Structure 1
Amino acid sequence: MSTPEANTRGLAYAGGVGYAMWQRSLLELARVKGGLLPTTIAPIIFLLGITGQFGDLSSLPGFPTDSYINWIIPLSCLQGAGFAGGATGANLARDIERGWFDRLLSSPAPRPLLLLGPVMAAMTRSLVPTTVILAVGLLLGPGLTGGVYGVVMLYLAAMAFSVVASFWGITLALRARTQQVGPAIQNGVFIAVFLSTAYTPLVLLRGWLGTFAEYNPVTYVLQMARQATVSGIEPSWAHTWPGLVALAGMIALFGLLALRQLGRIDR
């Protein structure tokens, strides 16, 4: 067999394995009724509650929009996508406890492909909370300010952040090998978002929180996403590339950690 033919067959095999794992992960949603409700309802409640409590913050000098709900919409979308991604780790921990993942490890499929499908499924699942939260926010707020470009950046940020959360969850699940790790996965996502420009822009943050937010990569992912709804963050490459770099760095870091943890498991 020639090398090109072998490469083609190898790619087809890899694609088949990845697709099968992606399909299995999505079919779980059909079996578990309301599986996406927590990742959608919780951010919506957060959106409504935070806007009601802190809505007057948008009147502060230096705030980039006069609509606080428009500031929070991308944050809630990112939370929903992050929770959808974190569920990948919880599902993996369940498969480990039931012995299903050990059977997958004994298959001839390369180990990284066993993670590819669930991560792709997390990206797909993230579309649901992102779309629902955006729709609710637009019903209550003044609307989009960033046009098509801004909306694309919002969805790109949400889907990529779900990948980050997926690799984070997978790493913890492979480490703990128990479903009890679920709260730690979700708390990690929440804290990463909370210690950023979640509620106010960077120029208004003070003390240790301002310093932490400045170096928190999620801050720049939020900036990228907020091009869709915040009038003071105009759609531009300058507001996009820091978020892309932050996402690429986090995906690389947590992806390598997940693969490293996977490599430590005996067949």
Structure 2
Amino acid sequence: MNALVHDGTAVLGRHLQRVRHAPALLVMTQTMPIVFLLFFGYVFGGALAMPGTEYRAYLVPGMLVATAANGIMTGMFTAAQDSHRGVMDRFRTLPMSRAAVPLGQAAADLVTTAVGLVPLILVGLAMGWRIEGSALGALGAFALLVLFRFATTWVGILLGLASRSEEAAGQLGSATFMLPLLSNAYLPTDGMPDWLRTVAEWNPISAVTTAVRDLFGNAPVPDGAAWPVAHPVAGAVGWSLALLVVCVPPAVRRYAAPEGRARVRRGR
């Protein structure tokens, strides 16, 4: 355990140094949510009438969760880049814990995301969003955001390690932009066709978004929704833990097995 913490901290520092020397990627990933928040808030905000809820107050929690879900894209791109440029091969030659490398990447992503959420929250406050629930509820909402981001980053790490090239990882990562659109992050699901509403409400993003809105006091839990949305906190925690259980062990195994990378390279 001590070796894991020590080595993971070293990898964490390496990734933070990497961000410092490549600020363009950080700026791009952190400014896009603000752009979307302003676009949806001011373009759709005046056109959407939501009983009992102002649209911008409804939107900000959804955008926070959509930003957390972007861990898939950033995790995938970073893992694929290190894998295909030989960085992970060099790490394998060092006497260090095998789990420390992906864990350090995931921890560094959490740090940069926490910093990046600050301007997004400030813009939301400037647009009129407020935390209307209790301080304890707000802390719970932020804890769910951190947990979900950590889980989605591991999804991205696994997919990045399994990718055949940086380009393939980038293309697949860009496709994850659709995931928040197939949820209740931006719009309620009760106006969707039945089949699409079912898909949207079983999207993990919907459960996390509903939980965050409820804990912030911005919108009540909708009636007649699927189980994860009707029980949003349990659904959000359950989805996050399920993603970690499914993705962490195979991601660590794939990193620790250089023969797996060799098979991928031969298949390109």
TM category (shorter chain) comes to 0.7 to 0.9
Q: Residue in 2 aligned with 1:262? A: 255
Query: CA offset at residue 29 of structure 1?
Result: 1.4
Which residue is equivalent to 2:45? 55
Q: What code does the residue aligned with 1:35 have?
A: L
Tell which deviates more after alignment, 140-149 or 252-261. Answer: 252-261
Answering whether residue 265 of structure 2 is matched by residue 240 of structure 1, we say no
- Counterpart of 1:24 (choices 14, 17, 36) is 14
CA distance in 2, matches of 1:92, 1:101: 9
Could you tell me whether the CA contact under 8 Å between 1:130 and 1:158 is conserved in 2?
no
Alpha-carbon distance change, 212 to 176 in structure 1, aligned in 2, over 3 angstroms:
same
Alignment-mate amino acid for residue 210 of structure 1:
R
CA pair 256-20 structure 1, distance change in 2 beyond 3 A: same
Which SS does the other structure have where 1:196 is aligned?
coil
Residue 257 of structure 2 corresponds to residue 252 of structure 1: no
Picking from 196, 200, 206, the partner of 1:219 is 206
Shift of 1:220: 0.8
Residue 109 (structure 1) aligned with residue 96 (structure 2): yes
Structure 2 distance, partners of 1:231, 1:217, is 18
- Seen in structure 2, the aligned counterparts of structure 1 residues 229 and 177 have a Cα distance that, compared at 3 Å, is farther
Tell me if the contact between 1:83 and 1:186 (Cα under 8 Å) persists in the aligned partners.
no
* Per-residue deviation, 1:92: 2.3
Residue 79 (structure 2) aligns with: 92
Partner of 2:218: 230
| SS, match of residue 53 in structure 1 | helix
The percentage of counterpart residues that share the same residue type is 24
Compute the displacement of 1:108 (Å): 2.7
User: How does the TM-score come out when normalised to structure 1?
Assistant: 0.83
| Post-superposition offset of 1:264 | 4.4
Equivalences for residues 183-202 of structure 1 within 5 A: 183-188=171-176, 190-202=177-189
* CA separation of 1:177 and 1:16: change in aligned 2, threshold 3 A: farther
The residue number in structure 2 matching 1:206 is 193
- Change over 3 Å in CA distance of 1:150–1:233 after alignment to 2: farther
- SS of the aligned residue for 1:204 comes to coil
Structure 2 counterpart of 1:250, one-letter code: L
Amino acid at match of 2:173: I
Contact 1:167 1:258 in 2 (8 A): yes
1:171 aligns with 2:164: no
Q: Match of 2:246, as an amino acid?
A: L
Report the AA paired with residue 139 of structure 1. Answer: A
Deviations 1:138-166 (A, max 9, x none): 11114221232332233222222222222
1:186 CA drift (Å): 3.7
Deviation, structure 1 residue 212: 0.3
Alpha-carbon distance change, 153 to 123 in structure 1, aligned in 2, over 3 angstroms: same
Q: Deviations over 1:92-115 (max 9, x none)?
A: 222223212101112232322221
Correspondence for 2:26 among 36, 42, 53: 36
Q: CA deviation at 1:26?
A: 1.0
17-26 or 222-231, which deviates more = 222-231
The number of residues matched between the two structures is 251
Query: 1:47: how far off?
Result: 0.9
Cα separation, 1, equivalents of 2:184 and 2:20: 36
Counterpart of 1:54, as a letter, is F
One-letter amino acid matched to 1:187: A
Label 1:152 to 1:183 Cα distance change in 2 as closer, same or farther (>3 A): farther
- Whether the 8 Å contact between 1:86 and 1:168 is mirrored in structure 2 is no
Structure 1's unaligned 5+ residue stretches are 1-10
Unmatched segments (≥5 aa) in structure 2: 223-230, 262-268
- Deviating more after overlay: 219-228 vs 247-256: 247-256
Compute the RMSD of aligned alpha carbons.
Answer: 2.5
Aligned residue for 2:3? Answer: 13
